[in-house]
Structures are given as C-alpha cells and as structure tokens.
Amino acid sequence: MTALGRNHVTVTGRAGGPVVMLAHGFGCDQNMWRLVVPLLEERFTVVLFDHVGAGRSDLSAWSRERYSSLDGYAQDIVEICHELDLGPVTFVGHSVSAMMGVLAAAREPEAFARLVLLAPSPSFIDDPEQGYRGGFSAEDIQELLESLDANYLGWSGAMAPVIMGNPERPELGEELTNSFCRTDPDIARVFARVTFLSDNREDLAKVTVPTLVAQCSSDAIAPPEVGAFVQARIPGSRLITLNATGHCPQLAAPEETAAAIAAFAGADH
C-alpha cells in the first residue's frame, strides 16, 4: 500500500501552482477543509489527505505501535511528500496536525517550503513551574480522557460544541459532533491520548522553514498565550490572530482562513 492510497490523498487545484497541503485535526477528516479548498484551488495545487484511522484512509494500516505517538503521523506526511514528488510544500496543520508538521519539517526540512500552524498547541497541559499555560490542568485532561473512554459518543456530543465554539451557529458544533462520531472509538481513544498528552515544546526550536502561526481570537482549546509561545520558540516565525472564534476557523471563517494561507503560501509567487 502506497502512502497516497493509505492516506486517501486527493490532489486538486492549479497544476504546476505552489503546493498547499492541508492536514486535519483529531476526530476529523479532509472534508473539514471543503470550504477553504475552492478559495485556494485557482492559485494553488491543493493536497488533501486523511490521517490513518480517519475518513477514507486504509483502516487496516492503523496500528497502535505506529500511531501511539505523533512520530508515526509525521512519517506519513513525509512519505506523502516523497510519493507526490511535487517539490517543497506549504504544509497547513490544524490543531494537533500543526505539531505533526513541526516534527516532519524538523525531520526533513527540504520537503517543506513553509509551515502554517493553525490553532496549534505544543502542549495542552499547564506547566506552572515553567510558566507555561496550555489551557488545561493535568487533572482536566485526565478527566477528559476518562470521560471519552467511558462513553465516546456521549463525550463527542458534549465536547465537540465546546471545541467548535460559535454557539450562535449550532450547526457547526453538530457537524463536528458527527465527524467525531464517524471515527472508530478504539482508534479515537488512542489518538485522543496522542493529541492531549503530547508535549512538543522542545521540538519548536528545530523548525528551520518559514512559519506562520495563526491563532483564533477566542479559542477554548488553544488560548492566545499558546500561539505567542509557539511564535516565540520557532525562529523567525510570524504570528497572526484571526478574527475567527472557536478552534476550527476553516469551518467558522473559511474566507479569512483561506486568505491567511494564500497570502503566506504565495508570498514569493
């Protein structure tokens, strides 16, 4: 099985254009980018894929050993880049995929022209000794994971609207809930631990490609201090704060999200 088949890679947009690769977060799939893609494909070659265990990926390729850390996902990203052979890509990683991009770009910087880290968090857990605020205490995260273990569908229904934000637009929270519920619960439990327990703060300084950190103006999952921390740790990176609220700006504010990606990805084209 090739990486392109395993990860259900789809390529659209302008052939020969700068390449933008969009990576989804926990409980989602490439469909989460559907409102952004039409706004990018006139100028860019757009690459979409599903993480193994999500969407239309090859579920038989999932193994607890490979995907119990972000390293397995980062390796998938590198392999997709190799097989596509389209030259260096601008990698756009949403939420946990932002740190997958950090790891992949540190591992093989020549495969990446740029990184866009959308609503990133290198660690969700507060570290008071280091003065780091991730947004959650260790106890918060433990309770979250225990709730997910006990009743994944119930957890999805309660948690997805919190992650999405935008309570005045309940259809957005409902879409995220449905996306969570399509995910195999056993795979979701492993991926949740990878997402919420990983600590990639030390990896940020290893990034050598131009990087844009794009945070939302209000985000229950990744507070503003997190975006500032990421920007401060990645040499030469830029930080922008979108007007969008919630943790999924590609759904809540696709025009603003696409414009930020396009401006950065097409800076020298």
Q: Active-site positions? A: 95, 219, 247
For residues 116 and 104, give the distance between their C-alpha atoms in angstroms, rounded to a whole number. Answer: 13
The type of residue at 61 is: A
State the Rg of the chain over Cα: 17
Q: How many CB atoms lie within 10 A of CB 154?
A: 11
Whole-angstrom Cα distance, residue 122 to residue 211?
A: 15
Residue 190 Rama label (left phi>0; alpha psi -120 to 50; beta)? alpha
Residues with Cβ within 8 Å of 123's Cβ and at least 6 positions away in sequence, in order, are 132, 134, 198, 199, 200, 201
The one-letter amino acid code at 159 reads M
Single-letter code of the amino acid located at 262: A
- Distance separating alpha carbons of residues 201 and 21, to the nearest angstrom: 23
